Amino acid sequence: MPQPAPSPPRPRCEITPPKGTPIFEARYAAGTQGRGVVTRLYATGTYTRTVTQPKRKPDQQLACIEKNRLENVMVAIKSAAWKTTQSAATCAAVSNEATDIIVFGKKRFTAKVCSSLALDDKSSAALDQVATAVGPFGIDLVEDLLAD
Protein backbone atom coordinates (compact mmCIF):
# COMPACT_ATOMS: atom_id res chain seq x y z
CA MET A 1 0.00 0.00 0.00
CA PRO A 2 1.47 3.39 -0.98
CA GLN A 3 2.42 5.78 1.77
CA PRO A 4 0.61 9.14 1.85
CA ALA A 5 2.67 12.09 0.67
CA PRO A 6 4.39 13.87 3.53
CA SER A 7 2.92 17.14 4.64
CA PRO A 8 4.65 20.20 3.25
CA PRO A 9 7.02 21.83 5.70
CA ARG A 10 5.38 24.33 8.00
CA PRO A 11 6.23 27.91 7.05
CA ARG A 12 8.68 29.57 9.40
CA CYS A 13 6.77 32.82 9.14
CA GLU A 14 3.16 33.86 8.98
CA ILE A 15 1.67 36.19 6.39
CA THR A 16 -0.61 38.67 8.10
CA PRO A 17 -2.71 41.43 6.55
CA PRO A 18 -0.47 44.47 6.03
CA LYS A 19 -1.45 47.31 8.33
CA GLY A 20 0.18 50.35 9.82
CA THR A 21 3.29 52.15 8.64
CA PRO A 22 5.83 49.84 7.00
CA ILE A 23 9.19 49.63 8.75
CA PHE A 24 10.80 49.76 5.29
CA GLU A 25 9.53 50.84 1.91
CA ALA A 26 11.23 51.13 -1.47
CA ARG A 27 9.31 53.01 -4.19
CA TYR A 28 10.76 52.57 -7.66
CA ALA A 29 9.33 54.82 -10.38
CA ALA A 30 10.25 54.79 -14.04
CA GLY A 31 9.63 58.47 -14.72
CA THR A 32 6.19 59.52 -15.86
CA GLN A 33 5.40 56.24 -17.65
CA GLY A 34 3.33 54.85 -14.77
CA ARG A 35 5.71 51.91 -14.35
CA GLY A 36 6.93 51.09 -10.91
CA VAL A 37 7.52 48.66 -8.08
CA VAL A 38 6.74 49.32 -4.42
CA THR A 39 8.14 46.96 -1.79
CA ARG A 40 6.88 47.33 1.79
CA LEU A 41 8.06 45.40 4.86
CA TYR A 42 5.88 45.47 7.97
CA ALA A 43 6.75 44.90 11.64
CA THR A 44 5.02 41.49 11.51
CA GLY A 45 7.50 40.21 8.90
CA THR A 46 4.92 40.37 6.12
CA TYR A 47 6.01 42.19 3.00
CA THR A 48 4.27 43.21 -0.18
CA ARG A 49 5.57 43.90 -3.65
CA THR A 50 3.25 45.82 -5.97
CA VAL A 51 4.07 46.19 -9.66
CA THR A 52 2.33 48.87 -11.72
CA GLN A 53 2.42 49.20 -15.48
CA PRO A 54 0.42 51.30 -17.92
CA LYS A 55 -2.90 49.78 -18.99
CA ARG A 56 -2.59 46.89 -16.54
CA LYS A 57 -4.10 46.22 -13.14
CA PRO A 58 -1.47 46.49 -10.37
CA ASP A 59 -0.06 43.10 -9.39
CA GLN A 60 0.55 42.61 -5.66
CA GLN A 61 2.58 39.77 -4.19
CA LEU A 62 2.44 38.94 -0.50
CA ALA A 63 5.12 37.04 1.44
CA CYS A 64 6.88 37.01 4.81
CA ILE A 65 10.27 36.64 6.41
CA GLU A 66 11.27 34.68 9.51
CA LYS A 67 11.39 36.39 12.90
CA ASN A 68 15.19 36.21 13.23
CA ARG A 69 15.67 37.83 9.81
CA LEU A 70 13.14 40.50 10.71
CA GLU A 71 15.02 41.22 13.94
CA ASN A 72 18.29 41.58 12.00
CA VAL A 73 16.63 43.99 9.55
CA MET A 74 15.15 46.05 12.40
CA VAL A 75 18.54 46.39 14.09
CA ALA A 76 20.22 47.34 10.80
CA ILE A 77 17.72 50.01 9.75
CA LYS A 78 17.39 51.48 13.25
CA SER A 79 21.16 51.83 13.62
CA ALA A 80 21.72 53.27 10.12
CA ALA A 81 22.66 56.95 9.99
CA TRP A 82 20.98 57.59 6.62
CA LYS A 83 23.60 60.22 5.81
CA THR A 84 24.67 61.17 2.30
CA THR A 85 27.87 62.68 1.00
CA GLN A 86 28.66 64.34 -2.27
CA SER A 87 30.60 61.98 -4.52
CA ALA A 88 33.60 63.26 -6.46
CA ALA A 89 32.75 60.94 -9.36
CA THR A 90 31.06 62.47 -12.37
CA CYS A 91 28.57 60.87 -14.71
CA ALA A 92 26.92 62.10 -17.87
CA ALA A 93 24.02 59.64 -17.97
CA VAL A 94 20.53 61.05 -17.48
CA SER A 95 17.68 58.88 -16.24
CA ASN A 96 14.19 59.56 -14.99
CA GLU A 97 14.22 56.38 -12.89
CA ALA A 98 14.56 56.58 -9.12
CA THR A 99 13.99 54.53 -5.98
CA ASP A 100 12.85 56.33 -2.85
CA ILE A 101 13.85 54.61 0.39
CA ILE A 102 11.42 55.21 3.27
CA VAL A 103 12.14 53.94 6.79
CA PHE A 104 9.43 54.06 9.48
CA GLY A 105 7.44 56.46 7.29
CA LYS A 106 10.30 58.92 6.71
CA LYS A 107 12.00 59.33 3.36
CA ARG A 108 15.70 58.66 3.92
CA PHE A 109 17.33 58.42 0.48
CA THR A 110 16.64 58.49 -3.25
CA ALA A 111 18.72 56.19 -5.41
CA LYS A 112 19.25 57.36 -8.99
CA VAL A 113 21.48 56.32 -11.83
CA CYS A 114 24.58 58.55 -11.77
CA SER A 115 23.52 60.35 -8.61
CA SER A 116 26.22 62.53 -7.10
CA LEU A 117 25.02 61.52 -3.62
CA ALA A 118 26.45 58.48 -1.88
CA LEU A 119 24.84 56.80 1.11
CA ASP A 120 27.00 56.08 4.19
CA ASP A 121 28.38 52.56 4.61
CA LYS A 122 26.17 51.55 7.56
CA SER A 123 23.01 52.63 5.74
CA SER A 124 24.12 50.85 2.56
CA ALA A 125 24.67 47.73 4.67
CA ALA A 126 21.13 48.12 6.07
CA LEU A 127 19.75 48.18 2.51
CA ASP A 128 21.74 45.03 1.76
CA GLN A 129 20.23 43.41 4.87
CA VAL A 130 16.71 44.26 3.64
CA ALA A 131 17.51 42.90 0.17
CA THR A 132 18.79 39.67 1.73
CA ALA A 133 15.50 39.31 3.61
CA VAL A 134 12.93 40.31 0.97
CA GLY A 135 14.90 40.02 -2.26
CA PRO A 136 15.94 42.79 -4.62
CA PHE A 137 13.89 45.97 -4.71
CA GLY A 138 13.80 49.16 -6.73
CA ILE A 139 16.05 49.50 -9.74
CA ASP A 140 17.66 46.09 -9.05
CA LEU A 141 14.31 44.38 -9.53
CA VAL A 142 12.84 46.23 -12.47
CA GLU A 143 14.13 44.34 -15.48
CA ASP A 144 12.55 41.08 -14.29
CA LEU A 145 9.20 42.49 -13.19
CA LEU A 146 8.54 45.17 -15.76
CA ALA A 147 9.61 43.24 -18.86
CA ASP A 148 6.92 43.61 -21.51
The predicted model gives 59-81 an average pLDDT of 94
- Asked if pLDDT for residue 29 goes beyond 90, the answer is no
Q: What residue spans define the domains of the chain?
A: 24-145
- Asked if pLDDT for residue 148 goes beyond 50, the answer is no
CB environment 116-147: b (16+ within 10 A), e (fewer): eebbeeebeebbebbbebbebbbbbbbeebbe
- Asked if pLDDT for residue 144 goes beyond 60, the answer is no
Q: Tell me the C-alpha distance between 119 and 21, whole Å.
A: 23
Q: pLDDT band at 133, cuts 50/70/90? A: very high
Q: What is the pLDDT of residues 36-61, one digit of tens each?
A: 899 999 999 999 999 888 788 888 89
Per-residue pLDDT, 139: 65
Q: pLDDT band at 7, cuts 50/70/90? A: low
Per-residue pLDDT, 40: 97
Helix axes 121-134, 67-79, angle to 10 degrees: 160
Q: What is the pLDDT of residues 74-129, one digit of tens each?
A: 999 999 999 999 877 767 777 788 899 999 999 999 888 777 888 999 999 999 99
pTM strictly above 0.75: yes
